[in-house]
Every structure is written in C-alpha cells, then in structure tokens.
DNA sequence: CGCAGGATGGGCT
DNA sequence: GCCCATCCTGCGG
C-alpha cells in the first residue's frame, strides 16, 4: 500500500469530473466496459508516485452465467467475495504468479460483475511509468493487463479500494464514437467454452496503444 | 520479425 | 498438484 499522507488528487488537466460509484453500479457491465474506453485512470503507486493514462482496452466479466467470470455460478470465496460487492470498488488478483490484474467491480451488490482494464495510453507522468518498467514510450509500456499494473505500481494490496480513493480514481472524458470502438472475444479464457466467444472485449479501434484491431464495430 | 519455453504464486479441486 | 483474465527472453531466419 502506498503512503497515505500524500496530497489529494490534483486538479489535473483532466479533472473534469471524477467517476463515482453511480457510474459503476449500473447493471449493464458490457456497456460500462465500453464506456470506460477513453476515460482517464490515475493511481498513486506503491512508491507514492502519481501517474495515469487513458483507457484504451477493457473486458467485461458479467454475471454468474459467464463461465469466464471468477464468480461464475455464485462462487464466493475469499478471493471472489469482493466481486459480489456493489459496484465502485477495485478487485485485484495475481495471474500466473507474476502479473497483477486490475478490475473495477460493477453492478448492484450480490452480482459478480467486473471490468478488467487491459491497456492504457500513458498521458500523465509518463516518465514515472517508463522508469518503473524500464521501457520506452511504446505500446509495450502499458498495453496488456500485467504491464499496466506494473507501470502504475499497483498490486494486490489495492484490492477492495473504493472508487474513487486517494490511491486510485477515474476521471471522465468523452467516450469514443461507436464506429471507433471494436468489440470482440476475450482472450486467454479458452476454458470458458462457448462463453469465450462473447464480444466482451472492447478496444479503441485506431489506437496505437493497444494491439492491432480485430473484431466488429460496437 | 516469429515462436518456444520459462518464470512464479494464489486459489481451488 | 494443477490451473490460470500473462509477459519476457532468447534464439532462429
């Protein structure tokens, strides 16, 4: 966990509006995942330094019938419990022993819905992001869910943080037009059977900060 | 450029 | 034990 005696979120260039719990508590998680494209994400990392960027790729994990969802079938465990909370909290877990995944819990209490943040266009304090990753300012800096959390220096200790908090928050920006958003199947979830085909992965079509597009306009 | 293989740990059967 | 909502390195062409 980062030091908590840091200054509050700055009136950043963005500071148009901080997304609050009402944004996350709506019931259509796929729509939220889509609307999160273009929004700005800021985090104060474990080193206490603030950085952020624009979300360019997300995935929705929606409901107990979605077998790719950690909470599928209403499976409540110490890990998944946070997914059943009302929208507006952070769900983080470790994948492949190395990578920390950032998810934003959505929907009403009792449903295991969340959105995985998969790629970021670095925009604020990019030199800090680069230093943490020892990378140049390219797609590889924060494109990919593990790379993104490494660049932001956030980990499992951020699990259950409310949105917004002084450690992590989102700021509103225009959502891209439908014709510049691509929807396609999620990746890395072959075990989910037919649910792996659901078009729950959303990307900004022409962004150089996410993988080259395949999929259908949203 | 592409691909093979290793790393590494929490969560659950 | 085994399975991952993954990434990086190193080697070959």
* Tens digit of each residue's pLDDT (9 = 90 or more) over A64-98: 889 899 999 888 898 999 999 999 999 999 999 99
Q: What is the pLDDT of residue A216?
A: 72
Measured distance CA(A16)–CA(A13) in Å, rounded: 8
Q: What is the pLDDT of residue A132?
A: 95
Strand C proximal to A137 Cβ, under 7 A: no
Does residue A186 surpass a pLDDT of 70? yes
**What is the mean pLDDT of the segment spanning A155-174?**
95
Strand B proximal to A191 Cβ, under 7 A: no
Q: How far is CA A1 from CA A6, A64, A165, in A?
A: 12, 31, 13
**Spatial distance from the CA of A210 to the C1' of B1 (Å):** 19
Q: What is the pLDDT of residue A187?
A: 86
**Count of CB atoms within 10 A of residue A119's CB?**
25
Strand C proximal to A144 Cβ, under 7 A: yes
Residues of chain A with pLDDT > 90, as a percent, come to 76
**What is the mean pLDDT of the segment spanning A55-67?**
91
Decide: helix, strand or coil at residue A83: helix
A72 or A211, which is more confident: A72
**Spatial distance from the CA of A44 to the C1' of C3 (Å):** 32
Q: Give strand B nucleotides closer than 7 A to any protein Cβ.
A: 7-13
* Bond from prior residue into A201 cis (ω within 30 degrees of 0): no
């Amino acid at each position: 966990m980062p030091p908590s005696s840091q200054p509050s979120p700055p009136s950043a260039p963005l500071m148009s509006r901080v997304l609050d719990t009402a944004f996350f508590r709506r019931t259509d998680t796929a729509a939220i995942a889509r609307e999160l494209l273009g929004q700005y994400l800021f985090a104060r990392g474990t080193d206490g330094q603030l950085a952020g960027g624009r979300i360019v790729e997300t995935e929705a994990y929606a409901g107990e019938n979605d077998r790719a969802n950690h909470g599928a079938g209403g499976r409540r465990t110490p890990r998944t419990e946070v997914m059943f909370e009302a929208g507006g909290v952070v769900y983080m877990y470790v994948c492949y022993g190395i990578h920390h995944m950032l998810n934003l819990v959505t929907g009403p209490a009792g449903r295991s819905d969340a959105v995985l943040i998969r790629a970021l266009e670095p925009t604020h304090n990019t030199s800090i992001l680069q230093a943490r990753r020892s990378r140049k300012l390219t797609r590889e800096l924060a494109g990919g869910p593990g790379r993104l959390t490494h660049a932001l220096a956030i980990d499992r200790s951020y699990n259950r943080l409310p949105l917004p908090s002084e450690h992590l928050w989102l700021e509103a920006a225009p959502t891209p037009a439908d014709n510049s958003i691509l929807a396609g199947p999620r990746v890395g979830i072959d075990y989910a059977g037919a649910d792996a085909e659901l078009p729950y992965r959303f990307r900004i079509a022409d962004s150089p900060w996410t993988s080259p597009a395949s999929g259908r306009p949203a």
